[in-house]
Structure 1
Amino acid sequence: MKLPEFEEVEGPVLMLNMLKFKDREYYFETYLPAFRQVTEKLGITDVKARLVCNVVANVIAPENEAWDAILLVEYPSAKAFKTIAESDAYREIADPHRLAATADLHLYMTTPFEL
């Protein structure tokens, strides 16, 4: 996966994953363990799921926009995320499972801020 250039972001980033599944069970039971295997292989083990939720209703969204779940995943840095996503290990070990499990995915890089 070739990603756009990110300007260097200080500190952790939170990746908002908006998911539409082909196979929800396969995603959680096969893709996520494969993803964890990649992070361990690359030595980037401080990746943490911060929020995992089912989407139950569109409140303010186009009627035809339907997501099954959202995941908010914390990475230690934008560089760590990019290292994982562009790695041969991800492409070989995890990405085939992601493609098999998801019908659609939107992914947003975010940073936390204080209110």
Structure 2
Amino acid sequence: MTAYLEPTQASGRGFFMRGISGPVVMLNLLRYREVADYSASPELGPPAPISGEEAYRLYMEHTLPHLERSGGKLLFFGRGGAFLIGPANERWDAAMLVEQSSTEAFMAFTSDQAYLAGIGHRTAALEDSRLLPLEPWSRIALRR
């Protein structure tokens, strides 16, 4: 099974090619590891093993001040479960919506060194993830 934890060059290029102007909302789907894996960032690891969910909580505690300073905001963060419509064998433990004022603000946030100092908690926490950039409709035509 392929895990998706970081964007690829192609997906990053595609994100910029969309030409989103104005706010962008990131839909995050998160699948936690049973036990967090701090092998890539041992300096961040707690003294005793913790769950992936607990490691993600540490990531969020670190990240929220940086997100807010960048002009972003957490719109929603909630526990997942079984799909109402979707594959029965697919599991997402949590979903999150994060808004940034622009793609440029999002990129500045994700490249900020102070933010990146805690990214190891995210890597330790997640078994798999999805990130879908969403843009608001500028006009919606409703027909009767």
> Which TM-score applies when normalising by structure 2?
0.65
Structure 2: segments with no counterpart, 5+ residues: 1-5, 34-51
**Aligned counterpart in structure 2 of residue 81 of structure 1, from 103, 106, 114:** 106
2-11 or 19-28, which deviates more: 2-11
Please state whether the residue corresponding to 1:81 is helix, strand or coil: helix
Distance of aligned partners of 1:49 and 1:38 in 2 relative to their CA distance in 1, 3 Å threshold: closer
Report the aligned-residue RMSD. Answer: 2.2
Q: Structure 1 or 2: larger strand share?
A: 1
What is the alpha-carbon distance in structure 2 between the residues aligned to residue 61 and residue 39 of structure 1?
31
Q: How many residues in Structure 1 have an aligned counterpart in Structure 2?
A: 110
1:37 shift after superposition: 4.6
Match of 2:87 among 62, 71, 74: 62
Query: What is the identity percentage for the equivalent residue pairs of Structure 1 and Structure 2?
Result: 33
Structure 1: stretches of 5+ with no match in the other structure: none
Matched, 1:14 2:42: no
Pick one of 49, 53, 56 that aligns with 1:24. Answer: 53
SS in 2 for 1:58: coil
Task: Measure how far apart 1:94 and its partner are.
Answer: 2.4
Who wins on radius of gyration, i.e. which is larger?
2
Q: Find the aligned partners of 1:105 and 1:65 in 2 and give their Cα distance.
A: 12
For the residues of structure 1 that align with 2:73 and 2:67, how far apart are their CA atoms? 11
Structure 2 CA distance for partners of 1:50 and 1:86, relative to 1, 3 Å: same
Highest RCO, 1 vs 2 (Cα 8 Å, sep ≥ 6): 1
Q: Distance in 2 between matches of 1:39 and 1:26?
A: 18
2:42 aligned partner = none
Please tell me whether the aligned partners of residues 38 and 94 of structure 1 are also in contact (alpha carbons under 8 angstroms).
no
